[in-house]
Amino acid sequence: MTTDIRDMKATAFNTIRDTVREVAKDMARAMAAMCDLIIPRYCIVCGRRLLLYEKYICIYCVADFPFTYNWRITHNRMADRFNTMIQRDIEGRMAAPACDTSQPGREAYAYAAALFLYRGDAPYRRIPYRIKYHGDTAAGRYFGEILGKRLASARHFDDADMVIPVPLHWQRKWARGYNQAEIIAKEVAAATGASLRTDILIRKRKTKTQTRLDVDSKARNVKGAFAVREKFVNSIPPAHHILIVDDVFTTGATINACFNALRTIYGPEVRISAVTLAFVDNG
C-alpha cells in the first residue's frame, strides 16, 4: 500500500513537472513570436525576414552555406598556404648570417581550418563583417559554436589543449568594445575542451587595417606586431597543441605573425594550428 502511494505521488509529480515544462516552452515560443512582431529579425546573408525557429540566417541561406569541410582534411588549401608562410620564414632565418645552426628549424605540418569560404562577391562575407563592425557578438558566438563543434569532431584537432585569439591593440579594442576573435575563440575552446588564453599574446603596436593592403604589404604590416607577455618568457604555460583563432584567413599574414611570436617560447614539439570563421580562397 505504501509503495502504491509512493508510486502514485511520483507519477503525479512527473506529470506536473512535464506539464510545467511544456507550458514554459509554449510561453517562450509565444514571447519569441511577439518579439519578432515588435522587433523583426533578418537574415544576415540575404536580408530575408527570419521565421520563429531560424537563427541569424534563413533556411535558404543555410541550404547554400559554403562550408569548407577542411576541418575534415589535414592537408587542405588553407593549411598549405599557412605552412608555405611558415617554411618561408624558417628558410629566411636559416639564411641569415646570425642564424643559430644548432636549431634545425623543422616544423610539423600545421593544421588549419575554417567554417566557410569567403568570396568578395558572395553575400556570406556579411557574416564576419556583421560580427566585426556591427557589434553582433551574439552572431559571433553562434557561428563560433558551429565552428567549435566541427573542430571537436575532427581527429587531428581532438588533442588541442589551448586556444589563443589574435589580440587587438588596446586602443582598437577600447573603441570597438570587444575583440571579435576572442568571441569566436571562446566558443571554440568550450566545444573542444581546450583552455582559452587571452593573456599570453599581446599586440605591441597598432597596425593598419589589412583590408585594402596587398599580400606583401599585409605581411610587412603585421611583422613583429605581436609578442608574448614578458611574464611568460621564463614561465611557459604547458601546451601540446595550440589553436590560433581569428575571424578571417586571407593571406594568413596575421596568424603567421602570431605563430612566430608563440615560437619564441614554444618549440616545434608543440603544434600550432590556425582556425578561423572564414577562408578567402582565390583559387
| C-alpha closest to that of 282 among 231, 215, 232 | 215
Q: Are 132 and 164 in contact (CB under 8 A)?
A: no
d(CA 129, CA 209): 13
Q: Is 146 exposed, middle or buried (0-12, 13-18, 19+ CB in 10 A)?
A: middle
Answer whether residue 102 shows pLDDT above 60.
no
Reported confidence tier of residue 103, pLDDT bands at 50, 70, 90:
very low
Quick one: pLDDT at residue 31? 55
Element at 279 (helix H, strand E) = strand 271-280
CB 52 within 8 A of CB 36: yes
CB atoms under 10 Å from CB of 283, counted, come to 3
Average pLDDT (34-46) is 77
What pLDDT score was predicted for residue 188? Answer: 98
Residue 97's pLDDT band (cuts 50, 70, 90): low
DSSP 109: P
User: Regarding predicted confidence, which is higher, 280 or 38?
Assistant: 280
Question: What is the pTM for the complete model shown?
Answer: 0.82
Give dist(CA 38, CA 144) in Å, integer.
28
Q: What DSSP string runs through 169-208?
A: PHHHHHHHSS-HHHHHHHHHHHHHTPEE-SSSEEE-SPPP
Look at 10 and 153; give whichever has higher pLDDT. 153
Task: Determine the Cα–Cα distance for residues 229 and 17; give it in Å rounded to an integer.
Answer: 52
pLDDT tens-digit readout, 177-222: 999 999 999 999 999 999 999 999 999 877 756 666 656 676 677 7
Predicted local confidence at residue 92, as pLDDT? 77
Residue type, 226: F
Q: Whole-angstrom Cα distance, residue 193 to residue 113?
A: 17
User: What's residue 96's pLDDT?
Assistant: 56
CA dihedral of 14, 18, 20, 22, whole degrees rounded to 10:
-170
